Amino acid sequence: MLKIKNLHAKVGDNEILKGLNLDVKPGEIHAIMGPNGSGKSTLASVLAGREAYEVTDGVVDLDGTDLLELEASDRAREGVFLAFQYPIEIPGVSNLNFMKAAVNAKRDHNGQPPIKAKDFLAKVKECSSLVELDGRLRDRSVNEGFSGGEKKRNEIFQMAILEPKLCILDETDSGLDIDALRVVSKGVNAMRSPDRAFIVITHYQRLLDHIIPDFVHVLSNGKIVKSGGKELALELEAKGYDWIKEEQNA
Amino acid sequence: MAVLTDIFKSTLLPPTRRSERWKYSPISKLLNTSLSTDSEAINSGFSKEVDPNPVQGLEAYRLVLRNGKFDASLSDLPVAQGVVCMPMSEVEDGESPEFQNTYSQKEWVGELNESYHQDGMFLKIARNIKLDRPIVIHHLTDGIDVASFPRHFVRVEEGGEVDVVIWCSSTKKSSGMYNGLLEASIAPNASFMLEKVCNEDGEIYHFSHENIIQERDSRFMMHTFTVKGHWVRNELEIVSRGKGTDSIFNGAYLPTENEHVDNHTTMDHTSSDGTSSELYRGIMYGSSTGVFNGKVFVRPDAQRTNAFQQNTNIVADRGASINTKPELEIYADDVKCAHGCTVGQFDLDALFYLKSRGIQEKAAKALLVEAFLADVISSVPSTELRKEIMKIYQERHGW
Ligand SMILES: Nc1ncnc2c1ncn2[C@@H]1O[C@H](COP(=O)(O)OP(=O)(O)OP(=O)(O)O)[C@@H](O)[C@H]1O
Ligand SMILES: [Mg+2]
């Protein structure tokens, strides 16, 4: 589904991604771990199409489409979804209007008419119960005054509404309490399907206890330096990153 | 060719850039034109470009003026118990209003209006009368080098209530000056709502001055929308002369190309326990220029005043700019005053967030603009007017 080859990206003069390779097939869950500042969020942003990041080399292919050629909104309409590490507050834009505009943008892209009010509300109900999102939060301005955990829940709520094929979760677990972590993971697991893939960025094993990855990768200094199965995450939890760095230097 | 000051004589001199109030809104170009109140209209009858009824679907009374002159055939004035509404030109000599404001002694623009004033609305709302529909004053400028000096007078007696819309249009080929004045005095416990919209094509120097006098426990709410205009100066002066008045005044402006928009407001609290809330928001497109100046006075007797002022601007394009300045003068000690002026850009993070959900750039910007304007526009009393204004903004800026 997603093929990343030799991806290089920079912000200003600062090269952050330095030849990254990753291959994700439908139905798979890939976890990406790695030290602070190694480039995990940068990878997520580059995939989602944030303009501040300049891709200087490499290829990103999503089911035959050159993703790097598309604008952020077109990538989303092709099925890419990024759950932000730091969701943005947008005062004055209601969460529901926002989701309706997003759903209709995608339907328009697929040549479908705008969604019927009744169908939309049913969908909202279904998806908010999936992540146990408080009704009042749905009606408020996008993320405005939401707690850290509420913002993360709202990201997964949006993901459920939009039914993307490639879901990128950037530290969705940070800021969640233990119960919320369970609820959000349950939501993610409910969305697992043979034709949907996940890239889950996290620092902690505890998320991977709930969302069990097929692969675990270590991103360090702009590259994937080690890949393995789910047991790699346990090893990292126990030993930290130094041993990988040493392995690299050896 | 005669210059403006030869045609319209005055004792006060026209403002120059040396005056603080006019520093960012020079009028030297206007002063070199030769205008006339008798310029011939381009169209015979009301122009086909502009509908005499500017807000479709709004059930309202209507007073139509063309180049400062009353057009009876297109007007529809209220006839109701306790309501006097007529063109100034039909007011009997003994009944003529006594204007209290001193604008004509302070400013050249005001003196011209005083000396050369034409027609306008004379409105009196008797005690406890609430007019059932708004009155729309529609002023059309249609002519080359035309000068118009409309003048309106409103008195709302105790407990009375009325909503007035002043809508200014102009045809594409028109040029000249619009110099309009409205004075309203609001008796104790009365309400006056005013919505002012400038939607002018052509090249008009638009000066409009509202002078509001509020007595005890009266309520005033105004919205000033600069939808379109070559050069626009909105001046609003509110004097609170009694205890417990409430004044709300909001404005929005979205100039583009080489347009210029200037909003000067003065809120003068002279009595105690008053509240005022001012919110002006602007988006500067193209190479437009803007000015905001908001003065708030809290006089020594105005204890327990609560005054809020905010001016927020987005500069959308590189070539555009705005000068904004709050001026608070507070002489009472037990008061609450908050104010803030900001100039920024579109929030790129918010834009990316919206786009990352599949919403395209244009639609994403529209959502952000609507959100930005919502606080200003949501308090407009009539839905039809709100919709019409948003529609024109949308059409103009291609959301
Ligand atoms: N917009 C930006 N401007 C300047 N530097 C940036 C920008 N975005 C990222 N960087 C830098 O790039 C590097 C990688 O940042 P990134 O956010 O991708 O790290 P991360 O792996 O997600 O870290 P964390 O685990 O702390 O979330 C950091 O050194 C960061 O300071
Ligand atoms: Mg990060």
Disruptive mutation site among B314, B347, B356 for chain A (greatest number of A CBs within 10 Å): B356
Q: What percent of chain B has pLDDT over 70?
A: 100
Tens-place pLDDT, residues B313-333: 999 999 999 999 999 999 999
Residue A102 lies in a domain: no
C-alpha to C-alpha distance for B132 and B33, rounded to whole angstroms:
43
Average pLDDT of the segment spanning A208-237: 93
* Among protein residues, the one whose CA lies closest to atom 31 of ligand 1: A37
Q: Which of A48, A52, A106 is opposite residue B356, by nearest beta carbon?
A: A48
In a domain, A199, yes or no: yes
Q: From the list A50, A75, A105, which residue is nearest B363 (CB)?
A: A105
User: How many domains are there within chain A?
Assistant: 1
- Judged against a pLDDT cut of 90, whether residue B284 lies above it is answered with yes
Residue of A42, A88, A106 to mutate when probing chain B, most B C-beta within 10 A? A88
Mean pLDDT of A167-190: 92
**Integer Cα distance of A77 and A148 in angstroms:** 27
Nearest CA in chain B to A101: B359
What is the residue-averaged pLDDT of chain A?
Answer: 94
* Per-residue model confidence (pLDDT) at position A250: 67
Query: Which residues, chain by chain, have CB under 5 Å from ion ligand 2?
Result: A 40-41, 85
pLDDT band at B380 (very low <50, low <70, confident <90, very high): very high
Q: What is the pLDDT of residue B398?
A: 79
- Side-chain half-sphere exposure of A149, counting CA atoms within 13 A: 15
Looking at the partner chain, which of B350, B358, B363 has a beta carbon nearest the beta carbon of A90? B350
Give every CB contact of residue B248 below 8 A, 6+ residues apart in sequence: B220, B221, B222, B276, B277, B278, B379
The CA A130 to ligand 2 mean position distance, Å, reads 26
Res. B47 pLDDT band, cuts 50 70 90: confident
Question: ipTM for the complex?
Answer: 0.95
- For A88, which of B353, B370, B374 is closest by C-beta distance? B353
Measure in Å the smallest separation between the Cα of A16 and chain B Cα atoms: 20
Answer whether A39 contacts ligand 1 (Cβ < 6 A). Answer: yes
Structural domain range at position A36: 2-90+165-249
What are the chain B neighbours of A93 within 8 Å (beta carbons)? 354, 367-368, 370-371
Cβ burial B271-287 (10 Å sphere, 16+ → b, else e): bbbbbbbbbbbbbbbee
pLDDT, tens only, A129-153: 998 888 888 889 999 999 998 999 9
pLDDT at A249 over 80: no
- Measured between beta carbons, the chain A residues lying within 8 angstroms of B363 are 101, 105
Q: Whose CA is nearest to atom 16 of ligand 1?
A: A39
Whether A73 and B358 lie within 8 Å, measured CB to CB: yes
Position B42 scores a pLDDT of 84
Count Cβ–Cβ pairs < 8 Å, chain A vs chain B.
82
How far apart are the C-alpha atoms of B309 and B278, rounded to whole Å? 5
Residue in chain A lying closest to B358 (CA):
A73
CA distance B353 to B318: 23
Q: pLDDT digit string (tens) for B205-233?
A: 999 999 999 999 999 999 999 999 999 99
Task: Encode pLDDT of B103-124 as tens digits.
Answer: 999 999 999 999 999 999 999 9
- pLDDT of B123 reads 98
User: B367 and A50 in contact by Cβ < 8 A?
Assistant: no
Q: What is the 3-class SS of A90-118, one letter each residue? A: EEEEEHHHHHHHHHHHHHHHCCCCCCCHH
Instruction: State the distance from the centre of ligand 1 to the C-alpha of A227, rounded, in angstroms.
Output: 21
Q: Residue whose CA is closest, atom 13 of ligand 1?
A: A37
How large is the average pLDDT for residues B257-263?
98
Cβ of residue A38 lying under 6 Å from some atom of ligand 1: yes
For the Cβ of A11 lying below 6 angstroms from any atom of ligand 1, the answer is yes
The answer, for B80 touching chain A at a CB cutoff of 8 Å, is no
Q: Which residues of A lie inside 8 Å of B (Cβ-Cβ)?
A: 48-52, 71-73, 75-77, 81-82, 84, 87-93, 97-99, 101-102, 105-106, 109, 141-142, 158, 162
Per-residue pLDDT at B48: 86
Mean pLDDT of B77-91: 96
A70 in a domain, yes or no? Answer: yes
pLDDT in tens, A19-47: 999 999 999 999 999 999 999 999 999 99
Averaged pLDDT for residues B32-51: 87
- State the pLDDT confidence band at B346, using cuts at 50, 70 and 90: very high
Buried b (16+ CB within 10 A) or exposed e, A125-138: eebbebbebeeebb
Contact yes or no for B355 and A109 at CB 8 A: no
Q: Which residues of A touch B375 (CB under 8 A)?
A: 92
What's the pTM? 0.87
Q: Is B359's CB within 8 Å of A141's CB?
A: no
Q: What is the CATH number of the domain that holds A14?
A: 3.40.50.300
Residue A138 forms part of a structural domain: no
Considering the domain boundaries, does residue A11 fall inside one?
A: yes
Whether residue A157 is contained in a domain is answered as no
In a domain, A204, yes or no: yes
Flag whether pLDDT at B1 surpasses 60.
no
Residue A78 domain-assigned? Answer: yes
Give distance in angstroms: CA of A100 to centre of ligand 2. Answer: 28
* Beta carbons of B92 and B122 less than 8 angstroms apart: no
Reading the block at residue B361, the tokens are 């750039």
pLDDT grade for A237, boundaries at 50, 70 and 90: confident
* Residue A245 structure tokens: 């760095």
Distance CA B83, CA B122 (A): 10
A54 CB within 6 A, ligand 1: no
Q: What is the pLDDT of residue B301?
A: 96
